[in-house]
Amino acid sequence: MNNEFVTWHVLEALRAAKAEIEEDELVSRRLKAQTKLRFVNMSDDELWELANMAATPHRPAEFVYLDLLRDREHLAATTEEWMHDINIDNCSPCMAS
């Protein structure tokens, strides 16, 4: 399976990490929250594809998949902690005026 959604999800997660490294807190928080929301709403097939992408010879996809299931369950149970970050102003110059 070559799911463009899962690939896009990974790229957006990397954008969130880049924003964090660059200390752009608002953008980082917004992108992380969006990433979490996409992750929580992934189908089992999409989660399996993500597991295959993250698998290594020392950590087979089956184990990664089980971890992802646990992570998804945790995020779904804690939405009140991160969901509000989706609406954070991204501080673009056009919004500053």
Contact between residue 29 and residue 73 where contact means Cβ atoms under 8 Å apart: no
Contact between residue 6 and residue 49 where contact means Cβ atoms under 8 Å apart: yes
**Rounded distance between C-alpha atoms, residue 32 and residue 19, angstroms:** 10
Contact between residue 33 and residue 10 where contact means Cβ atoms under 8 Å apart: no
Q: Which two tokens stand for residue 47?
A: 């989660």
Contact between residue 3 and residue 53 where contact means Cβ atoms under 8 Å apart: no
Of 33, 61, 54, nearest to 13 (Cα)?
A: 33
CA 97 → CA 9, 14, 72, 90, distances in Å?
31, 29, 38, 13
Q: What is the pLDDT along the chain (97 residues), one digit of tens a residue?
A: 558 999 999 999 999 999 999 999 999 999 999 999 999 999 999 999 999 999 999 999 999 999 999 999 999 999 999 999 988 754 444 344 3
